[in-house]
A and B are shown apart, each in its own frame.
Chain A
Amino acid sequence: MGSFSLIIDGQTVEVEEGATVLQAARRAGISIPTICDHKDLNPYGACRMCVVEIEGVRGYPTSCTTPAAAGMRVTTQSERLSTLRNRTLELMFSGHPNSCLVCVHREACEQHRPTATKAARSTRCGFCANREECDLRAMALSAGQPELSLPTMYAAYNLERDDPFMDRDYNLCVLCGRCWRICEKIHGKPAISIINRGKWARIGTAFNKSHVFSGCTFCGACIDICPTGTLTDRFARWQGKPEAETGSACILCPQGCAVVAQSKNQRLLAYTMPAFNRDASLCALGRFGAAQMVNSNQRTTRPQVREGEDLIPYDWDAALKAAATGLKEHAGKIAFVISATSSREERYLYAQLATALKGQMHLVPAHALPGDPTLTTIQEAIHGQGALALLMNGPLLGGVEQSRMAFSLVIDALHSDSSEQASVVLPAAMLSENSGTFRSSTGEIRQLSACSQAPGDARAEWRILRDLGQTLGLDGFSYTKVEDITRAMDNAVGEDAAPPAMTGDPRHNVRELITTYRGHQVADIVPALAAFGLPQRSMIQEESTAGSDNGFPILEKKEIVPNMHFFKIQAPQVAKFALPGQFVILMARETSERSPFTLVDWDADTGTISLVIEEVGRSSRELASLRAGDMLAHVSGPLGQAMPVEKRGTVLLGGGCYGVGAIYPLARALKQAGNRVICGIEASSSYLLYMQDELTQVSDQLILATKDGSEGVRGGVQEILVQTAEREQVDQFIAIGCTFMMRMTTELSRGLNIPTLVALNPIMVDGTGMCGACRVSIGGDTLFACIDGPLFDGHAVDWDELASRRSAYAPQEIQALSQGVDLSALMHQAHGPTDTHQCGCGR
């Protein structure tokens, strides 16, 4: 292939034949903005960000699709080009939540942003799960504060969460086509495609089937290649940008696929594909299951030793001693039952121990289920040997076998019946917490590099085995690093055996996923896998309260604007005693967390109450998934102190988010008491404003504000407050909304000398129980929002403390969110995409 040169921005660039103008520019270090282009995909030419000028060529060709030619003269920067690019960007943003990019409060917001706003759909760019990694946002920000003059459109698609692992928010999609193109490149027949036409064109599947039925293998490539926040991994979604990417291998099955492990704060976020091609693809279990397993709450974290009936937590030294004593006692009569998904070093050390203790080694294939012939053979061998002691690295044998033993040692990362029955349990590290090498079933040796920290006292298995060897007083167990073992075994054994291959090809067919990991049923650890028909010990039971006769019926339920849900509930006792300003605590199911919501309306005669619930966390998500006709397990209230209703003169009520609904009963009561009532409500864009009609009826004036200026005042309640105070005397200001808005408006009203009330119930963080979370400092006193509040004197609130308390719960909340998978929805679909009604549940 020949090479030639062309001139880009006055610079002579030498390129190989076949290169595009874009590639040539990059070669020369000249950057051209792109969205749809990706180095691992064929040129597509859809987004038009990469336009350039070429001498002698009419118009503005897209550099990603234009082949470079000898002698070409290309200009990549000009006024005309940046106008064109800005217009393209503007067009992309007209259908995309953009308010944060043009918001006048952006700086303050970024400083005080409530960390716990984990909305279902991203209706504000600054709150998007992907904001730290988004190409689109980066491009918009680098273009300066963009003036967006096109009207905002919002497609209002629901969040798609009907498969076990992904959240897809097509409201954020810019149709760059990267996702379906990579899917096609990797799998041939893509599991997604562009569907519909015109303004309804979007990415989707045939007949909008769940990905569980669309041929998707859950390789995650589309997530990793999407330049926006549209496609996300539900588990990793809110954890932000990974801090580290470590090359390693997944050893959940003997294929031992190479992976790039993404981690943050010593936690595994995900295993991802090391390259975007068919050979590098991962199965659903590796891509999405591994992180959930490693971060599972079923991890064993402390050494334990049996004392009679009970397993008692021990420190490492004492536990190792107990293990060594047990093993020594039965030397010559010990069966070592080891999983084939152990690293080479682990297998080597087990073999060393077996030799020294004259035990028998048995390797259990990764896919062996109870009843497998290999297992039967092992059992027979153990009987033949007359074994009295057992060492296993997982629940690999039946319980009967184990109970026949005088002594059993279980070295494992996850809890099981076997560890429950064991004489000694030693907690091990797993997967991304381990270093070493692994021989795959095809014979290749893969490097394992640790990138996350084992929980509690758990230790790397090689270390446990080395320490055990030392405690037993054996020779040759003096390794200090895992590499010492690798070297020792390379010298000693030469070629070690590859583990038995598994049946099936889960990387290309999700129905062939491996069902066990070291004897554990993976669907017991990652319950969502049941959606693919993986066996589970306890099939999920339908919750008893949803649809049962006990509880509080939901009479009406609708999503009035994205993430904002209106509920009308039958709760006569609450309706009878409710006063403006009070709230209720809801529990969707008997097992749900308790979460507080301000009363928006009530009717003592019909015994009903109305609420507006914003979908921002696990509990509110659970509530949002209910429908009219369902039952709530509990509604308790009315709680909290009512607002004192007096005649003050002119009262301004400011509402944002859920507060737009919450100011409604206050406005009504204040108006009845003879006040001049002004309601000011904010939203990031016009399509997010709600309850205008209702508020108009109970106030003298309703003022709207949007962050993007698409309706009413440009800005928020801040601007409404300042502008109103300029016009007329305001005697009382009441703010309900996010902590950020209440804090900012309180600062302003202090300067304006306007008495201010704020509602502090949102700080009862759902997900942690209200008691600890709702403590607030008001003018130096410690009060409880749930009893003394929710309304407090805004000028006396210690906002900094409030903010730090809120953010303290953020990690738990993220954890709760990532594990909250609505499996019941999937179960309804499990009967097939076209006959959802056949399960007899009536849905």
Chain B
Amino acid sequence: MSVEQHEVQDILTQYDQDRDNLIPLLQDVQERLHYLSPQALSAVAEHLQLSENDVFGVATFYAQFRFTPPGLHHIKVCEGTACHVRGSSRILDTITRTTGIEPGQTSEDGLFSLERVACFGSCALAPVVVVDDKVYGRMTSAKTQRLIEEKK
């Protein structure tokens, strides 16, 4: 058993075989592994006697779960109303262009991962990008590009 499998098993033993445990279980697994791997997901499905397709269906319904390991630098782009109005989709495009990844993905070198988020509550600074929990406000395409170059 790999380390990951051990960790997942540890979590599973704390939960009964009850469908209602699905979400808390997934949350625990994600907290430990920082994402839901295919193996972890099927272990959860097995434990709860569910189809892993259903479990995946439930997990993808919630924005909080991710399915690829996060990169060294995790980038979040706000898509809240204020940011949207001030051109967050262009920022997102810039990031996709410079890193080669779409939201939900991790770059092949493991350097970056990208996520879309609803609102950070920093609307005064719109449009907002968050990299590794540090907020960058009033972003433009050029500034975004520079930011990413710095992190490379």
Contacts and interface: CB of A to CB of B under 8 A. Distances in A.
A167 B91 CA distance: 36
A139 interface: no
A770 interface: no
What interface size band does chain B fall in?
10 to 19
B56 A207 contact: yes
Contact of B53 (A196, A197, A214): A214
Nearest to B36: A207
Interface stretch (B17-25, B57-65, B82-90): B57-65
Contacts of A188: 51
A503 B54 CA distance: 30
Interface in B14-73: 38-39, 41-42, 45, 50-57, 60-63, 67
Nearest to A205: B53
Given A190-B54, A191-B51, A206 B42 contact: yes
A184 B53 CA distance: 11
Contacts of A207: 38, 41, 56, 67
B105 to A, nearest CB: 13
B95 to A, nearest CB: 19
Interface in B110-150: none
B38 A190 contact: no
Interface string A198-238: 00000011110000001100000000000000000000000
Q: Which of B45, B50, B53 has the most chain A CB atoms closer than 10 A to its own CB? A: B53
Interface string A161-199: 000000000000000000000001000111111111100
A274 interface: no
B28 to A, nearest CB: 19
Nearest to B58: A193
B63 A206 contact: no
Nearest to B39: A834
Contact of B51 (A204, A215, A834): A215
Contact of A189 (B38, B50, B62): B50
A206 B50 contact: no
A248 B55 CA distance: 38
Contact of B56 (A184, A189, A195): A195
Q: Which of B45, B52, B61 has the most chain A CB atoms closer than 10 A to its own CB? A: B52
A244 B111 CA distance: 59
A194 B41 CA distance: 16
A185 B36 CA distance: 28
A189 B51 contact: yes
A204 B57 CA distance: 8
Nearest to B37: A834
A168 to B, nearest CB: 14
Nearest to B52: A206
B67 A190 contact: no
A205 B38 contact: no
Nearest to A832: B38
Question: What 8 A-B pairs come out closest when comparing CB atoms?
Answer: A189-B51, A193-B57, A206-B56, A193-B53, A206-B52, A193-B54, A195-B57, A196-B60
28 contacts: A189-B51, A189-B54, A190-B51, A191-B51, A191-B53, A193-B51, A193-B53, A193-B54, A193-B56, A194-B57, A194-B61, A195-B57, A196-B60, A197-B60, A197-B61, A197-B62, A204-B56, A205-B56, A206-B41, A206-B42, A206-B55, A207-B41, A207-B56, A207-B67, A215-B51, A215-B52, A215-B53, A833-B38
Interface of A: 184, 188-197, 204-207, 214-215, 833-834
Given A191-B53, A193-B56, A206-B38, 11 more contacts: A190-B53, A192-B53, A196-B61, A197-B61, A197-B62, A204-B53, A204-B56, A205-B53, A206-B55, A207-B38, A207-B41
